[in-house]
Structure formats: C-alpha cells, structure tokens
Amino acid sequence: MEAEVKTTQGAIVSVENPEITAPADWQPVIIGILCNWCSYAGSDLTGTSRIQYPPNIRIIRVPCSSRVDPWFIIKSLQATADGVLISGCHPGDCHYISGNYYARRRFLVTKKLLNFVGYHENRVQFSWVSAAEGPKFAKVVAKVTEDIKKLGPLHRYKKENF
C-alpha cells in the first residue's frame, strides 16, 4: 500500500515525511542519467526540435545504461535529488549489444528495494528512449517531473538531515 498523495492548503507534502511541506510553487531537482548512444542523442533531438519540457532535470551522460551502478541512484537521492530518471536504449538496440539487458535487471531490483525501505516508487523511474524519440524524451521528462512534484520534497535519508 502506498501513502496517499496529499496537498493541503496549496502546500506540497512530502510522501515519505508528512510533517515536511513545501510551498505550492516548489520545484523538484531531478537527476537524469542517460546513455550516450540512444537517450542522450534523443534528448539532443528534443533540443534541436525545440520541444519544450520542464526545466527540473539535470542530465548526466554515461556511455551505456549498464554503466549505471545502483549506488549512483542511492547517492543521488541522498544528495540533492528529489527524483532520478535513468534512460537507455530500447531492448535489442543497445549500442554495446547487451548492456541494457543487464541494466534492466538491476533497475527492477533497485527500484523495488528503494520502495521497500521507504522511498515512493515514483522517485526512481526508468525509460527507454531511442535517438529518434525526441518527442518521447520530452514526454517522459514531463511525466517524471509531474510525478515527482506530487510527491513533495524528499527528506527521508537525506544527508543533511541526519
């Protein structure tokens, strides 16, 4: 059972810590880790096509989604991020043949484990975005940003709070 997402008097309540609230115009910080060959190229295409998306995401380039060690995600959530988006090539399209298949397994287990210890499941999201899917990248970012805005600021397990 997931906690209800509540907004009281225009303020946004943190799902993991209901006592923590943020003003209604609060903007989350999202870290995006993108693979160089598909998703990073796709995000470039979003730019060249001038498709607009929310400005909350900060993009980190890695060669392949299989380069993403689960602790990058934990570290991001521990530091400034309110959410993490990881994106790679579609299954079968990996520039490095099989990287995203290994990554997919790790992602599922990591996502479930983070949810288990008390992160809302929408804090960490994954997507497959190809180099041709500029519009999809914008949609994914918009959705992830929207989702994370609803969850409120991440306070739980933050470094500065403990």
Partner 1 sequence: MDYTKQIQEIASKLFAENKIDYFVGCKQNGFDDNQVPFLITDPQDIPKLVFNDKSVFNLTNYLKADHTRRKRVGLVVKGCDSRSLNLLLTESQLKRENVYAIGICCEGVVNEKGEKAQNCIECVMPDAVVFDELLGTPKGRKDYIANVDLKELTEKPLVERADYFSKVFENCIRCNACRHSCPLCYCAKCCIDQETSTLYNGSNTTSSAMHALMTWSLHLAGRCVDCRNCEKACPSHLPLHLLHKQNEKVIFENFQQHLAGMEKDDRGAFYKYSLTDPDDFIL
Partner 2 sequence: MARVGVFTCFCGANIADFIDVPQVVEATKKIKGVKVSAEYKYMCSDPGQQMIRDAIIQNRLTSVVVAACSPRMHEKTFRKALSDAGLNPYMLEVANIREHSSWVHQKDKKAATEKASDLIRMAVAKSIANEQLHEISVPVTKRALVIGGGIAGIQAALDIADARIPVTLIERSPSIGGRMAQLDETFPTLDCSQCILTPKMVDVASHPYIELIPYSEVIELDGYVGNYKAKIRKKASYVNFSTCTGCGACTQKCPVKVSNEFNMGIDKRKAIYTPFPQAVPNKPVIDAEHCTMLLKGKCGICAKVCEKGSIDFKMVDEVIEREVGAVVVATGYDLWDPKPYEEYGVGRYKDIITSLEFERMVSASGPTNGLPLRPSDGKVPKNVVFIKCIGSRDEAKGIEYCSKICCMYTAKHAILLHHKVHDSHAYIFYMDIRAAGKGYEEFVKRAQVETAATYLRGRVSKIYKKGDKLIVRGEDAQLGQVVEVVADLVVLATAVIPYKENPPLARLLGISYDKYGYMSEAHPKLRPVETAKAGIFLAGCTQAPKDIPDTVAQASACAAKVCGLFSGDTMKKDPMISTINTENCTGCQNCVTVCPYQAIVTEEIPLGHGSKEMRIVAKINEGVCQGCGSCVAICRSMSINLAGFTDPQIINEIVSI
- Taking CB under 8 A as the criterion, the residue among 24, 26, 69, 161 binding partner 2 is 69
The answer to whether residues 31 and 61 touch, using CB atoms and an 8 Å cutoff, is: no
- Taking CB under 8 A as the criterion, the residue among 22, 59, 74, 142 binding partner 1 is 74
Interaction of residue 91 with partner 1, rule CB under 8 A? yes
Interaction of residue 41 with partner 2, rule CB under 8 A? yes
The answer to whether residues 134 and 45 touch, using CB atoms and an 8 Å cutoff, is: yes
Return the beta strands (E) in the chain as ranges: 7-8, 11-13, 21-22, 30-35, 57-62, 83-88, 124-128
The answer to whether residues 68 and 33 touch, using CB atoms and an 8 Å cutoff, is: yes
Interaction of residue 97 with partner 1, rule CB under 8 A? no
Whole-number minimum distance, CB 75 to partner 1, in Å? Answer: 7
Place of tokens 């993403």: 68
Nearer to partner 1, 45 or 111 (CB): 111
Considering only the stretches 16-24, 31-39, 48-56, report the one whose residues sit in contact with partner 1 under the rule CB under 8 A: 16-24
